[in-house]
Structure 1
Amino acid sequence: MSNVPEVLSRAHLIGIGGAGMSGIARILLARGARVSGSDAKDSRTFLTLRAQGAEIAIGQRAENLDAFDGGPSAVIVSTAIKETNPELVAARERGITVLHRAEALAALMTGHRVACIAGTHGKTSTTSMLTVALQHCRLDPSFAIGGDLNESGANAHHGEGGIFVAEADESDGSFLTYSPSVAVVTNVEPDHLDHHGTAEAYVAVFTEFARRIEPGGVLIVCADDGPAAELAARAEAEGVRVRRYGRSVTESGDARVLAYTPGDDGGVVRISLQGNEIDVKVAVPGEHMAFNAVAALLAGVELGAPVDGLAEGLAAFGGVRRRFEFKGRSGDVRVYDDYAHHPTEVDAQLRAVRHAAGPGRVVVVFQPHLYSRTKTFSAEFAKALGLADEVVVLDVYGAREEPEPGVTGALIADQITDAKAHYEPAFDRAATLAADLAGPGDLVVTMGAGDVTQLGPEIIAELDRRSEG
């Protein structure tokens, strides 16, 4: 139990099936802690956790805290857990320590050299790339990521290498709990205004994050992103060492992007680093992914890994689930799934999808995520989705938000002018509509942060049924 702080020796996780929470559970179990948890519904994630020894209850009740003798030493929650949750209410009544997910993860980082990857877009992919590259260099990092690595199917791991790589979530400001020695900020673009309130407050939280870097540590930023470049300048003025990457880089110690060449199976980014020109192959499509790879390369170098080994590891990176993930094909129609849920992400991913589609058309089934985001960015979503040929817009996946009058998927669909747009409020009709629109050689992508991910297999099955009929 020496690897587990005493407060986490018997941990109960409310909402244990979530990406962040299940990752913490994996690490706790690997370190020998006793773990219990609960969630509203069963999940395939629980198969592995139960096999490792976790006690998991479906449905949330106060008695779930009694899975182990003596009860839990701590109850771990995420921002999504409401104060009225019966298990949280019971924990507070019993005087049990309640920790936010980020606080628990920060406790698990103790004694490690920590690399945290932040940014509005690209943090899951960049964290994953860095993890795989370090594994290729045989450094066996611990990691906690907001998505499952395709190589291992896992979102977290307890490693023996003394390095901890973590995705740092700015959505609720909880990344201010961490004190990394290596911090990456891929970009800064206002989002999650339901929590932060204003664009200025959103930007300010990244400034505070940079101040959390350990003395002697480093901030790595994309110099081509204006707000990130401004963040770097502020941090540098406060004495933080900064390394930059991008096309606008001028310093020899940074990573200057010289060219990006797309290919059928990803692309190649050429960079100048420390006086040498290096080609880094990236097996996932899109220039934005190539930039993420350069960020991961710089972070790996700061963690002591060799450039050549990191480049080889990045070339072997097979992607993250729900990041342009291939779901299957029916005839010559290919179906993918992607997590993009902000206009900038949708734009970047559809530019990559257009290349992957070749001569075929692009059919997108898009599900807006959050009423507040849909209302704020409806015009931007419409413009980004116009990069496709056919767009099916579903209704809003509200997640933690209550419905807002007048805010539906139609708000986006009605503003799409560069593609044929179809507003489909009935989720159970979306797969049929997508199959109607897809022709020979087309590429279909389901897109969004909600349950739209379920539609890929249904679209394939519908296409198969028609071809067999």
Structure 2
Amino acid sequence: MMKRIHLIGIGGSGMSSIARVLLEQGLTVSGSDRTLSPLALNLRAAGAIVYEGHDPQHIEGVDMVVRSSAIADDNPEVAAALALGIPVLKRQDFMRDLTRERLCIAIAGSHGKTTTSTMMAWSLVQLGLDPGYILGGVSRNLANNAHAGSGELFVVEADEYDYMFLGLNPAVILLTNVEYDHPDCFPTAEKYQAAFSQFVHQLEPGGLLVTNADDHGAAAKRHDIPESARVVTYGLNGPADYSAIDWRVNAAGGYDFKISALQIHAPVAQVSLAVPGMHNVRNALGVLSALHALGFPVQQAADALSFYSGSSRRFEVIGEVAGITIIDDYAHHPSKISATLSAARVRYPRRRLVVVWQPHTYSRTQALESDFIRAFDDADLLVVTAIYAAREQARAYSAEQMVEKMKAPSVSYIPQIPDVVDFLLKTLQKGDVLIVLSAGDADQVCREVRTRLQERKGE
């Protein structure tokens, strides 16, 4: 019987959520990471044994090791566990065991997974259920990123990176979109598409695929599901089983809309979202379409979504100081950046949008360069930092080369974070909206600018 499980890379969003579920299940959890993130420190406070750095001694007394995608084969803890005959699993293999006895609702897609997963978990909780869930960010409504749950349902943010989602055999898949990403893992767009095709084919017999009819990549996956599975579509722009109609911007800067069901030729719910962006209309529409198709009271779930306040680092308003609004966002793909800035333009129509973007990984930045160049049309002023390498080795390619191709006076290349902060403090004006886009460490810009503005205001 497993008593102690050790997670290498425990501070990441995926591994920390697994750790929290295991703690709630009563297991002893230990883990390590190169540096300790807030998620890792929160786990330590919750009872996990958390080490900073990797050391073979951390493996003593461990029954199983789970490693994140970022952990290399030559990691000293991996090597020590293998030498001792301790099972070492990748995250995808462990997720198969974790969800085996539950009815798994997998939220997959290139963009919108965290928001959609959080909306689904929050809706089910508000419907009176106690689902398990593993999310890619901390939900502000649920105040965590994971929960073991006592009910049959288990919501999983199904990440395609390193083929993690192929460890799942879901009863329900909600597919938001399929657009090429992670070139370091999928060298071609064809391999990326093939991974999603394989994933939807792993639906349980009689399972349900809920797919975005507006996205060609997602809509095409309906042809890859098992024969016994069924398909439900949702969308804004064309024929679909569920459509968002009569949408309009509300006083909160979000959208009010109705959901129309093709099957009954009538609205099934009225929705009012406080979170901005048409992409969030689609996310909510996908969740409510799935719930209606599964037989849940959809208006009750829609009412719950009116109180949905988002996840950490997803259009998160960090503060407002001296008339300057500061927003932290995780967007790191061209389409997501474009959607985030479009949402900001709608919410703040007459204010200057000052954007800081930290490119994430050399492979993505170089492979999608032309798309990135077009993604910032809604920005009034753009600052681009050096590329955040993450798991990659540095390359000769730099973000400065891309900035030169932008050929716009409103775009600046400032590689180092401290220099970015100094530039912003000289540049920001009352009424500006500062949006920091980063999946790396540039989110610190938000806090530093806020602190420095507060200090200046107090002078």
- The reply to whether residue 426 of structure 1 matches residue 426 of structure 2 is no
Q: 1:375 matched to which residue of 2? A: 366
TM-score where L is the length of structure 1: 0.93
Q: Is residue 44 from structure 1 mapped to residue 14 from structure 2 by the alignment?
A: no
Alignment pair present for 1:312 and 2:303: yes
Secondary structure of 2:280's aligned partner: helix
1:242 matched to 2:216? no
C-alpha distance in structure 1 between counterparts of 2:156 and 2:313, whole Å: 18
Identify the match of residue 260 of structure 2 among 255, 272, 293.
Answer: 272
SS in 1 for 2:222: helix
Q: Percent identity?
A: 38
Matches within 5 A, 1:86-165: 86-165=76-155
**Superposed, which structure 2 residues align to 1:19-418 within 5 Å?**
19-66=13-60, 71-235=61-225, 238-250=227-239, 254-265=241-252, 266-273=254-261, 274-277=264-267, 278-405=269-396, 407-416=397-406
Q: Distance in 1 between matches of 2:41 and 2:180?
A: 37
Deviation at 1:50, TM superposition (A): 2.6
Distance 1:232 1:83 in 2: 36
Query: How far off its partner does 1:304 sit?
Result: 4.1
Is the 2:64–2:88 contact (alpha carbons within 8 Å) kept by the matching residues of 1?
A: yes
In structure 2, list runs of 5 or more residues that go unmatched.
none
| Kept after mapping to 2: 8 A contact 1:385/1:419 | no
Question: Could you tell me which amino acid in structure 2 is paired with residue 362 of structure 1?
Answer: L
Matching residue's letter, 1:271? I
Partner Cα distance (2:40, 2:367) in 1: 36
1:10 is aligned to 2:36: no
Deviation (angstroms), 1:440: 1.4
- CA–CA separation in structure 2 for the residues paired with 1:103 and 1:343: 31
Partner SS state of residue 114, structure 1: strand
Q: Distance in 2 between matches of 1:336 and 1:466?
A: 19
1:467 Cα offset (Å): 3.7
What code does the residue aligned with 1:29 have? Answer: L
How far apart in 1 are the matches of 2:70 and 2:126? 35
Contact 1:113 1:163 in 2 (8 A): yes
- Given that residues 134 and 305 in structure 1 are in contact (C-alpha distance below 8 angstroms), is that contact kept between their aligned partners in structure 2? no
> Comparing 226-235 with 348-357, which one deviates more in the overlay?
226-235
Is the CA contact (8 Å cut-off) linking 1:379 and 1:415 kept in structure 2? no
Amino acid at match of 1:246: G
Distance 2:335 2:408 in 1: 17
Looking at structure 1, the residues matched to 294 and 84 of structure 2 have their Cα atoms a distance apart, in angstroms, of: 43
Does the 8 Å contact 1:262/1:286 carry over to 2? no
- How far apart, in 2, do the equivalents of 1:276 and 1:419 lie? 51
Q: 1:19-69 CA distances to partner (integer Å, 9 max, x unpaired)?
A: 111111111111111111111223332444234332111111000112xxx
For residue 193 of structure 1, give the secondary structure of its aligned residue in structure 2.
coil
Quick one: distance in 1 between partners of 2:239 and 2:409? Answer: 39
For 1:457, the equivalent position in structure 2 comes to: 447
Q: Deviation digits for residues 200-249 of structure 1, max 9, x if unmatched?
A: 0100111101111000111111001111111123437x453100000345
Deviations along 1:368-394, one digit per CA (max 9) or x if unpaired, are 000011111122112111320000000
Q: Deviations over 1:146-172 (max 9, x none)?
A: 100012331101111211000001121
Which SS does the other structure have where 2:442 is aligned?
Answer: helix
Mapped contact 1:364–1:445 kept (Cα < 8 A): yes
Give the aligned residue type for 1:258: I
Q: Which residue of 2 aligns with 1:3?
A: none
The 3 A distance-change label for structure 1 pair 353 and 179 is same
Deviations 1:64-97 (A, max 9, x none): 112xxxx211100011101111000001111110
Evaluate the alpha carbon distance shift between residue 42 and residue 414 of structure 1 in structure 2; reply closer, same or farther with a 3 A threshold. Answer: same
CA 1:247 to 1:418, structure 2 compared with 1: closer, same or farther past 3 Å?
A: farther
Q: Give 1:419 shift.
A: 6.9
CA RMSD for the aligned pairs? 1.6
CA shift for structure 1 position 416? 2.9
Paired residues of 1:282 and 1:314 also in contact (CA < 8 A): yes
In structure 2, give the amino acid aligned to 1:326: V
User: What SS does the corresponding residue of 1:103 show, helix, strand or coil?
Assistant: helix
Q: Retained in 2: the 8 A contact 1:130–1:299? A: no
Q: Deviations over 1:421-461 (max 9, x none)?
A: 01001221111212222211110010021001111011112
Aligned residues: 455
Q: Matched residue of 1:305: which SS?
A: coil
Specify the SS of the correspondent of 2:308.
Answer: coil
- The alpha carbon displacement at 1:302 in A equals 4.1
> 1:11 is paired with a residue of what secondary structure?
strand
**Which runs of 5 or more residues in structure 1 are unaligned?**
1-5
